[in-house]
Amino acid sequence: MILGSPQKKIKMKKTEKEIIERIDQLIRLEATGNAKELADRLCVCERTVFNILKKIREEFKAPVLYIKCKNSYVYDIKGKIVLEF
């Protein structure tokens, strides 16, 4: 009888690229929630969310706004962030 070792779940840290792509997707769906909710959903701290949103606004020149009545960050104009090398 061969006994296998129990499988362990290894939680890998998300890369900045993965976080940006997920935030972009949620912004396009208008389903981010507020910064705290978004941080909880992504398993990162609020500061990380604010830093990534700043990067999206400044480096990608994306017009990101927070709309309180939608409880979501949204793009002011339709668009999508594409990260490639």
* pLDDT number for residue 65: 96
> How far is it, in rounded angstroms, from Cα 4 to Cα 19?
34
pLDDT of residue 79: 86
Q: What is the pLDDT of residue 43?
A: 94
Task: Please give the pLDDT value at position 85.
Answer: 67
- The CB density around residue 53, as the number of other CB atoms within 10 Å, is 20
Binned average pLDDT, 10 residues per bin, the chain of 85 residues: 49 79 96 98 96 95 96 94 77
Which domains, and CATH codes, for the chain?
Answer: 16-75 (1.10.10)
Confidence at residue 56, expressed as pLDDT on a 0 to 100 scale: 94
What are the DSSP E strand ranges found in 4-83? 64-67, 72-75
